[in-house]
Amino acid sequence: MEKILLWSLLLTLSGSQASRPWAERNTEFAVDLYQAIRLSHENNILISPLGTTLALGMVQLGAKGKAQEQIRQTLKFQETSTGEEFSVLKSFFSATSEKKQEFTFNLANALYLQEGFTVKEQYLHGNKEFFQSAVKLVDFQNAKACAETINTWVESKTDGKIKNMFSGEEFGPLTRLVLVNAIYFKGDWKQKFRKEDTQLMNFTQKDGAAVKIPMMKALLRTKYGYFSESSMNYQVLELPYKGDEFSLIIILPAEDVNIEEMEKLITAHQILQWFSEMQEEEVEISLPRFKVEQKLDFKEALYSLNITEVFSGGCDLSGITDSSEVYISQVMQQVFLEINEDGGEAATSTGIDIPAIMNLHRNQFIANHPFLCIMKNNPTGSIVFMGRVRDPDNQKMKGRDLDSL
């Protein structure tokens, strides 16, 4: 029985009006995926809804019947012709490639095919049209060589940040096709944090223990909101990157709010409401410097979201190949996120550094306990990643001198 491995990865460091239908559907899927993942992870979480959408989209172009229907329903695709949903992303690819001077955004897709394995020309054309996928021939019988080949490609597309993603053990004699998508973003904050203002401060972890971590500080004029729902109070802060194409959203519950209880309440409608109702204000910000790298197995989560057919031997992937009994064996995602004073590479940008009389409760944003984060592409409303930061100290930075960080 032949099988397809589906791999998705994201690397990221870190306007205009979003297309409402796409933004709403993308956000609904992002929340569904996050809710399916969060229950099995107690510490940090980082996922890429955009990366998952692209990977599943590449499959649904060749899926038929129940397999295609399950993917389309889970991704909230409308009843349009196959591929139309990605017209927004085609424009997105074009727009981001034209603005390389403001940030680096690489979105690369590749189909690794077994030499001699016949894939339909229409499927290859569709992937190139909608996902700009490259097609590469390999011999999965030589698993180690295949792993090295794909690892080299992944490393080149992620600026060397993700190495040795495959060991070769993932490939077997039945492997015929591997789908890989890599997303890499690197940019500067629109208003940077000054490194000289960073201080070691206490961060309260889940168990109530306090650890010393580098806390970035700045007084910035940016979008901010204070919300109260179901007796839970929380703040939402937007930190745009230079060029305003991308923003990082931080959702900080009040200190007496359990973050798991807050996560249960999050809906797509609520997230879109935050985006629309935040107002520009001067905010005194304290935000941890942190780095998270994570590899997740999405198979169980997708099962819970009713994507089951593509994992069975009887699924219909006849849009990809006439070969019978082709199925997907794994869905993995590797994610890398780094947040620091620059936001990314060096550039000249400063925050507002003026005295202000403010309501200390509403305009102080002190992220000294677990919080949620969302990175979004502003023109399309696409959620690039979504996660929970419970342990910003996972770099084991305790006791190190600030100058060495």
Do 283 and 300 lie in one domain? The reply is no
Contacts of 227 (CB under 8 A, 6+ apart): 233, 234, 235, 236, 274
Do 239 and 162 lie in one domain? The reply is no
- Residue with tokens 């690892």, as numbered in its chain: 151
- In this structure, of 6-15, 250-259, 314-323, 387-396, the range with the lowest mean pLDDT score is 6-15
Judge whether 395 lies within some domain.
no
Secondary structure (3-state) at 379: coil
Domain boundaries, position 311: 3-187+291-338
Judge whether 398 lies within some domain.
no
Q: Residue range 315-332: average pLDDT? A: 83
Instruction: Pick the more confident residue, 190 or 7.
Output: 190
Do 79 and 11 lie in one domain? The reply is yes
The pLDDT > 90 percentage for the chain reads 30
Do 140 and 173 lie in one domain? The reply is yes
Judge whether 396 lies within some domain.
no
- In this structure, of 252-256, 267-271, 294-298, the range with the lowest mean pLDDT score is 294-298
Q: How far apart are CA 228 and CA 100, in angstroms?
A: 39
Judge whether 125 lies within some domain.
yes
Do 48 and 112 lie in one domain? The reply is yes
Q: What is the pLDDT of residues 179-204, one digit of tens each?
A: 787 777 778 889 889 898 999 999 99
Q: What are the b/e assignments for 382-402, b being 16+ CB within 10 Å?
A: bbbbbbbbbbbbebebeeeee
3-state secondary structure 141-167: CCHHHHHHHHHHHHHHHCCCCCCCCCC
Give residue 208's region: left, alpha or beta (phi > 0; psi -120 to 50).
left
Handedness of CA 62, 64, 67, 69 (dihedral sign): positive
- Helix ranges (H only) for 121-277 are 121-131, 143-157, 259-265, 268-277
Do 208 and 295 lie in one domain? The reply is no
Handedness of CA 133, 134, 140, 143 (dihedral sign): negative
- In this structure, of 139-153, 288-302, 368-382, the range with the lowest mean pLDDT score is 288-302
**Residue after which a domain boundary falls, among 278, 311, 338:** 338
Do 46 and 183 lie in one domain? The reply is yes
Instruction: Pick the more confident residue, 24 or 10.
Output: 24
Instruction: Pick the more confident residue, 334 or 221.
Output: 221
Contact of 372 with 387, CB cutoff 8 Å: yes
Judge whether 344 lies within some domain.
no
Judge whether 402 lies within some domain.
no
Do 17 and 145 lie in one domain? The reply is yes
DSSP letter (8 states) at residue 296? E
Do 25 and 99 lie in one domain? The reply is yes
Q: Residue range 205-223: average pLDDT? A: 89
Output the pLDDT for position 323.
Answer: 80
Asked whether the predicted pLDDT for residue 142 surpasses 60, the reply is yes
Q: What is the pLDDT of residues 369-386, one digit of tens each?
A: 999 999 998 888 889 889
The pLDDT > 70 percentage for the chain reads 81
Q: What is the pLDDT of residues 348-371, one digit of tens each?
A: 212 222 233 334 445 899 999 999
3-state secondary structure 258-280: CHHHHHHHCCHHHHHHHHHHCEE
Q: Residue range 265-278: average pLDDT? A: 91
Do 100 and 42 lie in one domain? The reply is yes
Q: Residue range 104-116: average pLDDT? A: 80
Judge whether 399 lies within some domain.
no
The domain that holds 369 is classified in CATH as 2.30.39.10
Q: What is the pLDDT of residues 13-68, one digit of tens each?
A: 433 344 447 788 889 999 999 999 998 888 888 888 988 888 888 888 889 999 99
Token pair for 55: 């990977």
Secondary structure (3-state) at 35: helix
Do 279 and 136 lie in one domain? The reply is no
- Helix ranges (H only) for 4-103 are 20-38, 49-60, 65-74, 87-97
Q: Residue range 225-237: average pLDDT? A: 88
**Domain count along the chain:** 2
Q: What is the pLDDT of residues 77-87, one digit of tens each?
A: 876 655 566 67
Output the pLDDT for position 160.
Answer: 82
Judge whether 161 lies within some domain.
yes
Q: What are the b/e assignments for 210-230, b being 16+ CB within 10 Å?
A: eeebbbbbbbbebbbbbeeee
At residue 113 the predicted structure's pLDDT band, cuts being 50, 70 and 90, is confident
Q: How far apart are CA 393 and CA 29, in angstroms?
A: 30
Output the pLDDT for position 2.
Answer: 56
Torsion of CA 137, 140, 141, 146, to 10 degrees: 90
DSSP letter (8 states) at residue 310? G
Do 263 and 327 lie in one domain? The reply is no
0.75 exceeded by pTM: yes
Q: Residue range 84-110: average pLDDT? A: 68
Asked whether the predicted pLDDT for residue 347 surpasses 90, the reply is no
Torsion of CA 240, 243, 245, 246, to 10 degrees: -30
Output the DSSP codes for 328-357.
EEEEEEEEEEEE-SSSSS------------
Q: How far apart are CA 324 and CA 315, in angstroms?
A: 9
Q: How far apart are CA 114 and CA 172, in angstroms?
A: 11
The domain that holds 51 is classified in CATH as 3.30.497.10
